[in-house]
């Protein structure tokens, strides 16, 4: 599992944090590939600058989600990818990819799962008025944000926090926690046990 790929659709700040963690040795594995489905995504420029190979695979080029995912799997196999890392990939992973990479697809969520699932975790937590929120790294299964939790880290929501300041703190925390989780998975330090994954020594 020493080769891994990042899937991203947008700005790519988590992608860049992961790529830099590989370069500085925090992740002891090879970031072999960026899979992107949006030709104008800024993450492509980041990958070019960081010299990470890019595979642009547009959903509209395929007649079905199944064919789209089969093409992705073909490219992953060609590059000997052992782990798939979702970093702002704005598509729900389907059956074919889940079958091919069972317990080898991870995602990061900007809230403390199982609370505030879905695409607006930061905003939903902020609007609810929580005093503590955070970031969750989890395995991906067929339930939205429902896979086994790998790592979580909390942050305090201060009285003077705005949605924008909270977003900035959450993203900073993501950039710290995601590389840590990826390195644990790559080096077989994560053991799955029901709804929770545990770290082994």
Structure tokens at 166: 């909270």
Q: How far is CA 90 from the centre of its chain?
A: 11
Residue recorded with tokens 């300041």: 165
Residue recorded with tokens 């590989």: 22
Query: Residue 53 and residue 180: Cα distance in Å, rounded?
Result: 22
What is the β-pairing status of strands 149-156 and 30-36? unpaired
* Residue 35 CB neighbour total at 10 angstroms: 22
- The answer to whether residues 176 and 152 touch, using CB atoms and an 8 Å cutoff, is no
109, 120, 138, 175: which is the annotated catalytic residue?
109
Exposed e or buried b per residue across 37-58, where buried means at least 16 C-beta atoms within 10 angstroms of its C-beta: bbeebebbebbeebebeebebe
What is the β-pairing status of strands 105-109 and 132-139? antiparallel
120 is catalytic: no
Residues noted as catalytic: 109
């Amino acid at each position: 599992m020493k080769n891994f790929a990042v899937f991203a659709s947008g700005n790519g700040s988590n992608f860049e944090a992961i790529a830099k963690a590989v370069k500085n040795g925090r992740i002891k594995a090879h970031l072999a590939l960026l899979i992107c489905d949006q030709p104008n995504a800024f993450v492509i420029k980041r990958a070019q600058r960081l010299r990470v190979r890019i595979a642009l695979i547009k959903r509209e080029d395929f007649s079905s989600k199944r064919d789209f995912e089969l093409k992705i799997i073909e490219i992953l196999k060609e590059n000997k990818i052992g782990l798939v890392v979702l970093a702002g990939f704005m598509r729900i992973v389907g059956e074919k990819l889940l079958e091919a990479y069972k317990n080898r697809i991870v995602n990061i969520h900007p809230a403390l799962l199982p609370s505030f699932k879905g695409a607006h975790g930061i905003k939903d937590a902020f609007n609810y008025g929580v005093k503590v929120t955070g970031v969750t790294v989890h395995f991906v299964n067929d339930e939205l944000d429902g896979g086994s939790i790998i790592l979580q880290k909390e942050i305090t929501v201060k009285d003077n926090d705005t949605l924008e300041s909270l977003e900035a703190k959450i993203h900073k925390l993501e950039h710290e926690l995601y590389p840590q989780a990826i390195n644990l998975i790559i080096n077989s330090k994560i053991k799955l046990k029901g709804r929770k994954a545990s770290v082994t020594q």
